[in-house]
Amino acid sequence: MTVTSLHLWINGQRTLSQGSRMADVFNPASGEVIRRVPLASRRDIDAAVMAARAAFPAWRETTPLRRARILTRFCELMEQHRDELARLASEEHGKTVLDAVGSVQRGIEVIEFACGVPHLLKGEHAEDVGRGVDCHSMLQPVGVCAGITPFNFPAMVPLWMFPVAIACGNTFVLKPSEKVPSCSLRMAELFKDAGLPDGVFNVVPGDKEAVEALLEHPDVGAISFVGSTPVARHIYETAARNGKRVQALGGAKNHAVVMPDADMAFTADALVGAAYGSAGERCMAISTVVAVGEAGDRLLPLLRERAAQIRVGRGDTADVGMGPVISQAHRERIVDLIGSGVDQGAELVLDGRGIDVAGGERGFFIGPTLFDRVSPDMDIYREEIFGPVLIVLRADSFDAAVHLINANPYGNGTAIFTGSGHWARRFENEIEVGMVGVNVPIPVPMAFFSFGGWKASLFGDLHMHGMEGVVFYTRTKVVTRRWPAPAERTDSSLAMPTLG
């Protein structure tokens, strides 16, 4: 097959890299190289940042209403090209086209939110905070912002970042994963077609060299990141040390508590979708079930039955429910973790190793895997597997389940399945996790709320999109003013003014 060479997107046009390094982009379903992408060098990063810096003054002065109109046209183009972007995401990541369509749509919702920027940027105003003294606040852009995004959502995660940043008057440099570059590059073209001025949005696929260049660049004012916890911690520490504001979202170990009064058929359907959708490569995937009391014995047969029926194959094939994982190396890591679960005494209920996919002999496939009787000291509990592996732990009581989750170092998402408002309300209040679902397995907030976890799942203070995203991408300036009457005189005073 023909292997296509991609490009960088700097200052509103396709750009050749100033470096010589290239990376292969694989189709995980076939194991074939389908594209080659340049890995941005430090010189490329500098060129992208300089283009963004040069474009910033004019974009900052563009009225919020004008920015909103460009975003509205971009939103319309994204809707028109949604299926094209979904096919690109499916081809490079491996997820099913149906799953990819949903993820692109969730990203489009962030653009819709950002289109309301004239309202979102309104400050506060108070008259007569002192005699004849008024006070108001303004939200002003940071400057050049950068985003570093993972492989698992080629369109959605970048869309958590750059529409809000650009709506607020910033310019942006996006470094997508070199494994899935095409969606980001295509979105840059669509944004230009919508009327975005050159230099406001730049895309530089790359690896660690590009990341370090962004973290150290003196003209980058803010960094957004989604990825693993060790990298998130490094991003946060390095960028903060270089004087940048940072939001770095890390890994997860998302639990679902199942109470004995839950609707077990409904719960099993929800958990299978949450665990095995996108081959488990979701930061909000439910990877851990905590079954309380008798719930486990009732739930396990239903989970096994549903998981065993999932058809695994190419993401662009009809009736396929789950595609491959991103790479052969990641597949091998998941296989090793499954083996460790067996060796450490967990009960392997359904084994996805050695799955046979017709036409996908060289693909990176692994089937749905289910463990029961897992304990917190096992590797399959302690590590984020990021694959199609669902583990079940048993708890004697609601309190024991909550204690288990709160003791985990991660705090991204969690859910409870119950018919009791009492247990649900206690769970909402007592659980130490950033996003909570009640009979909702993947509680990803709508775009007008903010996305982010607690503990080792977040480094920084502000979550993504929603009003926290607006706050992250703006700086607050407070103005206090008085217009004295022409004849008004005051005596000089060295005392601290109280205004009142």
CA–CA distances in Å: residue 474 to residues 52, 165, 243: 16, 8, 15
**What whole-number distance in Å separates Cα of residue 180 and Cα of residue 190?**
17
Picking from 228, 52, 36, the residue whose alpha carbon sits closest to that of residue 149 is 228
Taking phi over 0 as left and psi of -120 to 50 as alpha, with beta for the rest, 394 belongs to beta
**What whole-number distance in Å separates Cα of residue 197 and Cα of residue 13?**
11
How far is CA 136 from its chain centroid?
34
DSSP class per residue in 89-114: HHHHH---HHHHHHHHHHHHHHHHHH
Picking from 353, 278, 263, 346, the residue whose alpha carbon sits closest to that of residue 315 is 278
- Catalytic option among 75, 115, 168, 283: 283
**What whole-number distance in Å separates Cα of residue 459 and Cα of residue 349?**
36
Segment holding 26, helix H or strand E: strand 22-27
B/e letters for 3-19, b = 16+ CB within 10 Å, e = fewer, are eeebbbbbbbeebebeb
Taking phi over 0 as left and psi of -120 to 50 as alpha, with beta for the rest, 368 belongs to beta
**What whole-number distance in Å separates Cα of residue 466 and Cα of residue 468?**
5
What is the number of other CB atoms lying within 10 angstroms of the CB of residue 175? 27
How far is CA 266 from its chain centroid?
27
Q: Can you state the angle between helices 156-167 and 64-80, rounded to 10 degrees?
A: 160
Contact call for residues 93 and 154 (beta carbons, < 8 A): yes
Could you say which DSSP state residue 496 is in?
A: P
B/e letters for 390-418, b = 16+ CB within 10 Å, e = fewer, are bbbbbbeebeebbebbeebebbbbbbbbb
Segment holding 8, helix H or strand E: strand 8-10
Please indicate whether residue 283 is annotated as part of the active site.
yes
Taking phi over 0 as left and psi of -120 to 50 as alpha, with beta for the rest, 499 belongs to left
Place of tokens 């029961």: 372
Contact call for residues 222 and 145 (beta carbons, < 8 A): yes
**The two three-digit tokens of residue 353, written as one number:** 């190793």
Q: Which residues are catalytic?
A: 283
